Amino acid sequence: MSIGSLSDITLQYLESKGIQSILDEAMHNVVLQMPEDPLAFLEKEFRRPTPVQVILTGPCGSGKTTLAAKLAAHYGIAHVSATVKDVGDVAMPADMLRELKGLQQEGKGWVLDGFPQTRADAIQLQTSGISPQLLFELQVPPGVALVRATAHAGASSKHTEDAAPIVKSYHLYDVRRTEIVTSYKPFYRAIDATVAAEEVAANVMKAIDTLHLS
């Protein structure tokens, strides 16, 4: 959607009501379904309840899985967890992609935790007809992520051993994050994840509820 030289008030309205996301989703569904009567299809699309479908991204220790569980319980949607422990190039799990496709075809809601990790992952999701209304990046500095990720470690020596792969994972995420942010720019929301988990959840739910999803 081209917004041209709209006034600040108009732009603020479009942003606060999530108009861009609503129109993007409608156009995505038109292209996916290619209905014989697009106007009738769009009217039906705008009238039907829209299930919550969001992606959570962020480094190890940012609280993605904790938040995903809260969102799944609050909205009654599926928590699709694709988080991997291995650091490096990891292909998107086939079973996760099948689950998302099934939920999408059934018109059910989902929160995707841990994927996509790269632009290639994002393209694979998009070509499979899977697109979120919003993508939340949980932002935490390296020190906070390290403390959280090793919080359940045992002895100090074990803590030290665990730190290296976590630091490596954080830096790998930091290198790749631009690919994800760019791929989902219209749907992107940055979230301060250094605060309490309850506050993080409240901020994310507020953004979701602004779209009047159900």
The CATH number that domain 1-48 falls under is 1.20.890
Tokens standing for residue 87 = 């650091």
Q: What is the DSSP string of 105-168?
A: HTT--EEEES---SHHHHHHHHHTT---SEEEEEE--HHHHHHHHTTT--SHHHHHHHHHHHHH
Q: Give the β-pairing of 78-81 and 188-192.
A: unpaired
The C-alpha atoms of residue 182 and residue 205 are separated, in whole angstroms, by 23
Q: Residue 198: what pLDDT?
A: 94
What is the CATH architecture of 49-210? Answer: 3-Layer(aba) Sandwich (3.40)
Q: Minimal CA–CA distance to 208: which of 101, 77, 59?
A: 77
Rounded to 5 degrees, φ, ψ at 146 are -65, -45
pTM recorded for the entire structure: 0.73
Query: Which residues, given as ranges, of the chain have pLDDT below 70?
Result: 1-5, 15-18, 21, 48-49, 82-91, 152-162, 212-214
**Every domain of the chain and the residues it spans:** 1-48, 49-210
Residue 49 is given by DSSP the state: -
Buried b (16+ CB within 10 A) or exposed e, 2-29: eeeeeeeeeeeebeeebeebbebbeeeb
Q: Hey, CA dihedral for 31, 33, 34, 38, is it positive or negative?
A: negative
Q: Residue 80: what pLDDT?
A: 93
